[in-house]
Structure 1
Amino acid sequence: MNFKYISKLAFSAISMALVFSGSNAQVIIGNSQTNGSEPNNIITAVPFMLITPDARAGAMGDAGVAVAGDVNSASINPSKLAFLDKPYGFAVSYSPWLKSLVPDINLAYLSGFYKLDDRNTIGASLRYFSLGSIQLTDINQQDLGIANPNELAFDFTFARSFGEEFALGSSLRYIYSNLASGQFSSGGQVRGGKAIAVDVSGLYKTSTTLFGKPAVLSAGANISNIGTKMSYSDDGPSFFLPTNFKLGGASTIAVDEYSSFTFALDFNKLLVPTQPIYDANGQIVSGQDPNRSVPAGIFGSFGDAPGGFSEELKEVGISTGLEYWYNQQFAIRAGYNYQSPMKGDSRYFTLGLGLKYNVFNIDFSYLLANAQTSPLANTLRFGLLFNFGEKTAVKK
């Protein structure tokens, strides 16, 4: 390695390891990933794609794959766009990320949708992750100037309903990661990483009665970031995108004409190879070779952990959330997100509020964690949503 980062970017050293790794032995350095979790033996490029940009879902412990949709639905389950009841809308969200560590890292998200007819909806979104300003030095501590690493993803989404209860949706995504373009590593000149990916999702919902009250039960699934591997140099290694499988359910109960409660529970798992255990000679002593194709990596991810089935279970994260609406104008939200200590140890409570007035919504979320042990402590998300036109009904 011809140079290194020496400033605040230590917390996102996993991204730097991807850029400057000169061999097929993928390693993690530092003690925290870009998404705020602790290091583990599942390594991907662009971990910022695992950050939930939506303040509403963020307030519910990042749960929401089966919760009623809004303009930001493409970020968690594209199929939910098919059931939106307004002709078109857009939203903007902003998250000062890892603010307990540094002040100028942020994630911005811009999204919009348009209903082509009663069944078909299209959408587009832009996700932009800025890592702020980074001081660079070489191995002799000589100043190499200031870098402004950033990453982005642009999506185009299509969703279609099949009656009032079922919908499918998919997003086509372009990802660009510019962490240290123009510099040099053992793999050659560093360039921006590029990749193409898709999301595939579905949603089923049905009306019923719970506890003597009208209710809606729903189940949703989304496999996100199925795509090409990403490389940061011509001769360097290629890395998997953070292909993620999210499966969940939700129930919404109308207590009376003014009040309703929604309960949500999601499970998610990365569909990428788990890193094996190597001996001193670089030979695999437990686990499987991670250098495989994308399809092999996805299907093999359910049984390649060195620790066997018990470790595979630890790779499943759990998100649960609660949302209360009063008169469809004011919302209170709370949630909890759990990740095994062996697989990132990202555990936290969330709180949030929502306000709906006329054509716009305002959402706010706050993440509760120990500021001395979690870089996600005091994380904020803000969202502003606009919906226009008269309500429309989904075609039966």
Structure 2
Amino acid sequence: MKKLTILLVVVFCTTIFTVPARSAIKKVAQTGLQFLKIDVSARAAAMGGAYTMPGNDASAMFYNPAGMALMQSKLDFFASRTEWFAGITYDAAGLAADLGNWGTVGASVVAADYGNDIIGTVFATNEKGYEKTGMVDVGAYAVGLSYAKSLTDKFSVGGQVKYAGQNLGSNVLTMVNDKLGPEVENKVSGFAFDFGTIFYPGFQSLRIGMSVNNFSEQFKYQEEAFQLPLTFKVGAAMDILDVLMGEHNDPLLISIDALHPRDYTERIHVGGEYWYNGMIALRSGYKFNYDEEGFSAGVGLKQTIAGMNIKLDYAYSDLGIFETVSRFSFGISF
């Protein structure tokens, strides 16, 4: 166990401090199904996406499935809505059940709605230079099954298999004798995998670990194949008041993630969360090395009603030249 602790610490520190050295190499436009990268949890988004370690409920399936093994309830339900820019919305839900010595199982779904006012066009030799081909129905989704288990009181593992797909509608590629050519369907789908670990080295509330998201084979629409947005994350989180104050009632959680994405240079996510009286949470975070994303903040409410733990979360994210993004999450556990 001591060797494992040293190994994880070395990997984490190496990833953190080598980000600037590798940041000059950009790898943009190499992956598809980009909706899989969007934060669906308001709590996670408010903390700048630094959520590899903090998640310990059904929302962990979307970040680090190992977090489900640390659930404090027998059954946990999570649902959220993300109001993205340009009228795009993302809806997500997850359900996790603690089976005792058998581990924890879960199911998740996320759906992207790109709106219904997208009009297709094709090049034409008329005065306008194009011909309308009608409305384009587009959307994306992913459904998954997860499993997590604590192998010891300090080490947990988890994984998720999901089926993801995207429909970009049908389109006409060419005009033939001033008539529309044949329509082509633009749909892809296939399996992808997530897995992760969480480790408690034994120092106060510190926990470290890693996750790999969107591991899959190549997808292809027509001719050119592409990968999903595979991302490797190493993270750490700790209630820093453990060190500063000793015994206390209101935790101040600090979380940091180092990301190695397939389609961009290395990134850093940093977030914080302060709970007051176990009922109200204040959160903030920042994403480094993004073109537009950066600052985020949010609040959370938690209350026990009739034996049920109710959670409500809101997050605000600044997307630079784009519109600000709001996220809402709801959770209930028994």
TM-score, normalised relative to structure 1:
0.69
Structure 1 distance, partners of 2:294, 2:312, is 23
Change (3 A) 1:270 1:185: farther
Structure 2 distance, partners of 1:188, 1:167, is 49
1:130·1:151 contact (CA, 8 Å) conserved in 2? yes
Q: Select which of 168, 188, 193 maps to 2:188.
A: 193
Aligned to 1:220: 209
Moved over 6 A (4+): none
Which amino acid in the other structure matches residue 224 of structure 2?
P
Structure 2 distance, partners of 1:119, 1:326, is 34
Aligned to 2:299: 353
Q: How does 1:119-138 map to 2 (within 5 A)?
A: 120-133=103-116, 134-138=118-122
The 3-state SS of whatever aligns with 1:190 is strand
Aligned to 2:93: 110
Q: Select which of 188, 203, 206 maps to 2:198.
A: 203
Aligned to 1:30: none
1:338·1:346 contact (CA, 8 Å) conserved in 2? no
Aligned to 2:75: 88
Structure 1 distance, partners of 2:108, 2:144, is 5
Structure 2 distance, partners of 1:72, 1:147, is 32
The 3-state SS of whatever aligns with 1:328 is coil
Aligned to 1:316: 266
Q: Select which of 324, 330, 334 maps to 1:384.
A: 330
Structure 1 distance, partners of 2:54, 2:269, is 13
2:31·2:262 contact (CA, 8 Å) conserved in 1? no
Aligned to 2:3: none
**1:163 correspondence with 2:152:** yes
Structure 2 distance, partners of 1:334, 1:119, is 36
Which amino acid in the other structure matches residue 112 of structure 1?
L
1:78·1:169 contact (CA, 8 Å) conserved in 2? yes
**Per-residue CA shift, 1:175-210, capped at 9, x if unaligned?**
111012x324489833311121111210112453xx
1:128·1:153 contact (CA, 8 Å) conserved in 2? yes
**1:147 correspondence with 2:130:** no
Aligned-residue Cα RMSD (Å) equals: 2.0
Change (3 A) 1:106 1:321: same
User: Alpha-carbon deviation of 1:119?
Assistant: 5.3
**1:183 correspondence with 2:171:** yes
Aligned to 1:7: none
Which range moves more in the overlay, 183-192 or 69-78? 183-192
Q: How many residues are aligned here?
A: 288
1:338·1:345 contact (CA, 8 Å) conserved in 2? no
The 3-state SS of whatever aligns with 1:251 is strand
Change (3 A) 1:369 1:126: closer
Structure 2 distance, partners of 1:68, 1:111, is 13
User: Alpha-carbon deviation of 1:369?
Assistant: 4.6
The 3-state SS of whatever aligns with 1:66 is coil
Aligned to 1:259: 250
Q: Select which of 256, 259, 263 maps to 1:268.
A: 259
Structure 1 distance, partners of 2:137, 2:310, is 33
Which amino acid in the other structure matches residue 50 of structure 1?
K
User: Alpha-carbon deviation of 1:148?
Assistant: 2.5
TM-score, normalised relative to structure 2:
0.81
Aligned to 1:58: 45
Structure 2 distance, partners of 1:317, 1:188, is 40
Q: How does 1:234-383 map to 2 (within 5 A)?
A: 236-252=223-239, 253-254=241-242, 255=245, 256-271=247-262, 315-339=265-289, 345-358=291-304, 359-370=309-320, 373=321, 375=322, 377-383=323-329
* Structure 1 unpaired stretches of 5+: 1-38, 209-214, 273-313, 389-396
Whichever structure has more strand as a proportion of its residues is 2
Of all paired residues, the percent bearing the same amino acid is 25
